[in-house]
Amino acid sequence: MSCLYCLKKSESFSRSVPLSGEDYYHDFPIDDLVENAIQVFSEIFRCPDCDSIWKIQSRGTGDPRSTYPEYYEQTATLLKGMEREVVAQPTLDNILKLGDIPMPYDFRTSVLDSLKEKEKQNLIQLYREQKPDLDSGIKHWLEKWYENIAPEEFRRFKEDGFHTDAKSIYSLPKDSKIISSEFYTLEDLVIWIEEGEDGRSYLQSLNQKTGKAGWKTDLPTSFSRGMKLPVLFYQRGYICTLHGLQIGSEHYSRLNRPDRLLVHSKDGELLLEEHLSWKAYEVISPEERDYSENRTVHNFRITIWDDILYLPSGFSLKAFDLKNGKEVVNLSLPDGHVFSGKLQIDEDGKIIIYTMKGFILYDKDWKILSRWKSRYHPVFMDSNMNVFYYYAHVENPRTHLIKEFQKKMESGVSLTHFLMATPVLLPNGYFVPFAYDESYILNFDLEIVRKIPYTSTDILGSRALDDKPEPTLVTENRLVFCEDYKQIRLFSLEGEEIRVLPSDVPFTNLFTFDGKNICFIQSNYTGYGVNDNYLVTLWSPEGKEINQVRLRSIEGFAVSFHGYLVFKYQSELLCIDLFKGI
């Protein structure tokens, strides 16, 4: 006998042995499979008699919950077709034809190592083409090899095509990082900088047009080790920052909470520093069966209205006059309501506050006019008092209307819809992205105006990625939504499709900086190296591409009302005019 194929024309073989104790390996023989085997590559052997080529591999297997494997298994497979061809003739052309056919872990890189002198120019060309569909091991090998043989050429290539038309407007201290940036006038922005090992942090105001630094004020440590929040934001004339950490759970960081809120004027004056008592907790699906999936809810939000800041505090609502920093309201809420941080005041002075489970309506003297509380946690509520739950139940406590939206499958079975993202308010109704590749445009009476056979990225479900931004956007006359690895779609507010752009990468952000134009960021990682690679695209309301820039970093990313994009790269704050040439 020389090999299994010589002996009985067998093309595959497997065997296993049980393991005991802390054993996690067994040394199988090879000679009884391929006698006098010639090793061609790791785990690949040739029979000296019939010239057949075998892939022989060993691995532990069994219950994945076990600390150690229960069995050790050896498999032998006769290579045929392209697999045999690439082993017999390991050329660059053949290794590329192999595609995603499974081979031993280091086979492809071993072939490249043997070709790096003879195929040097072709390998350089292959790397510079940056083909996205190459095997990840080949991408990694090409990246390291090219950097090693031509470091300066490699550096220039990595920077080519990035940060087009970017200009430095401010030099940052060495080894510093920008926690966040925010424009607060047409030209002025504030950047939250953290310096060096000691972590000193401060706000620095800056004029985007001149690059001139303005006021500067020290800050405590930023909120971190929790869900991703806008720790720096501008609201109705005031600059707000979140700091510190309140541990919500030793095992689940998404329940951690910020500890302090600071509010500064546009001149950098500290107006308010308030200890926070916010809430974050898990909704357990068995407790809200048929209404909610297991998810995290919180009230990390404030509202500033006519220079008064309203914020949640335990089971109370607090309000501060930002002109003098004094507390003007400290109101305990009835029936165990928890203020969500969202509040509206109408022309008559009536105040509607949104709680975690309902509404309370007050008069201007804070006397209760009406209130309503659900048994469940809604995903979305609005001033029309339409209440949307994760599983597609919608109710209105004012009209007593209750609706449930379902998807009828080809089998004839109707399944209850569930939300992929938060419903979005339109001028005459709502855009509601559901599962099963279906979205609805509803009017305020919850009647279906239009069905759209597409949906958005899932940010609400139990399998959704943590802290994804909202995948939906409404401008003054457009509706936009995106779905990771599939597409971004632009519609009129009536549901007429204007443009679709396929995408095989995830979306990092979707926003408008002026209420008209649409900007979105895609994570454009190609598998070559570890450098970040982001694609920022600007569309007009008609769906025309105005600009597209590639960035190595979105640290300190912010866009002004007039379309000036700022971001940090290395030790510089760079600026790009997104409307340049228009």
C-alpha 171 chain-centroid distance: 29
Report mean pLDDT in 10-residue bins for the chain, 582 residues.
84 90 81 91 92 92 79 93 93 92 92 94 93 89 94 88 91 94 98 87 97 96 90 98 93 92 98 97 88 91 98 98 96 97 95 97 96 96 96 94 90 90 97 95 96 95 75 97 96 97 93 98 82 90 96 95 96 96 69
Kindly report, residue by residue over 232-244, the tens digit of the pLDDT. Answer: 999 999 999 999 9
CA 319 – CA 313 distance, rounded (Å): 10
Rounded to the nearest 10 degrees, what angle do helices 120-129 and 136-149 cross at?
120
The pLDDT, as a whole number, for residue 39 is 93
CA 361 – CA 45 distance, rounded (Å): 78
Residue 93: CB partners within 8 Å, gap ≥ 6? none
For 312-351, b/e burial (b = at least 16 CB within 10 A) is bbebbbbbbbbeeeeeeeebebeeebbbbbbbebeeeeeb
The residue among 452, 548, 443, 569 whose CA lies nearest residue 500 is 452
What are the contacts of 41-45 at 24+ separation with CB within 8 A?
Answer: 41/87, 41/104, 41/107, 41/110, 41/111, 42/104, 42/105, 42/106, 42/107, 42/110, 43/104, 43/107, 44/79, 44/87, 44/104, 44/107
CB atoms within 10 A of CB 297: 17
CB atoms within 10 A of CB 130: 15
What's the residue count for the chain?
582
Q: What share of the chain is helix, strand, coil (3-state, %, to 5)?
A: 10, 40, 45
The pLDDT, as a whole number, for residue 531 is 64
Q: Where are the domains of the chain?
A: 4-159
The pLDDT, as a whole number, for residue 466 is 56
The pLDDT, as a whole number, for residue 371 is 96
- Going along 175-293, which residue ranges are E strands? 177-183, 188-195, 200-207, 213-219, 232-235, 238-243, 260-264, 270-275, 280-283
Q: What is the value of pTM for the model shown?
A: 0.85
CB atoms within 10 A of CB 248: 20
The pLDDT, as a whole number, for residue 530 is 62
The pLDDT, as a whole number, for residue 25 is 80
The pLDDT, as a whole number, for residue 465 is 60
